[in-house]
Amino acid sequence: MDHEAMVAREVLVLARKITCRRNRHLRQLDLTIEQADALIYFGDHPQQSMAAFKTVQQITHQTARLIIQRLVKRKLLVLTADPNDGRSKRVALTAAGQSKREQLRQHGWQTSAALFKQFTPVQQQTFLALLKLANQSLESSED
């Protein structure tokens, strides 16, 4: 196996391990990946519209509406009328939604701590720089 293939394989193994940890945690929280992404987004961008969420997530309006409706039904999100556009709704976290969002954040930090436990600060910075470069390479190849 050549060096590039070995690197690619290790990246895939790491991605699978992180995904498995996240999926296990989401099951414990009784959330789907899409619902977790919505809680994170609206926690980071309070009072945003459904349209803004669908654009960032690159999903259809109908899909965004279904995700948000399910979270509203579970009392994790609340919709309010947009004062500037009566046709549009603003989305915000409820107290229960903020609690779930905090649990997601804490789990992210725990995963990060486990991942970097044996890294020096310099290795962490190097790893971050390499990840950014890899992401840029993938983004530029999609154009």
Kindly report whether the global pTM for this prediction surpasses the value 0.75.
yes
Report all structural domains of the chain as residue ranges with CATH numbers, in order of start: 3-142 (1.10.10.10)
The pLDDT tens digits along the chain (143 residues) read 688 888 889 999 999 999 999 999 999 999 999 999 999 999 999 999 999 999 999 999 999 999 999 999 999 999 998 888 878 889 999 999 999 999 999 999 999 999 999 999 999 999 999 999 998 998 888 76
Per-residue b/e over 56-85, b at no fewer than 16 CB within 10 Å? eeebeeeebeebbebbbeeebbbeeeeeee
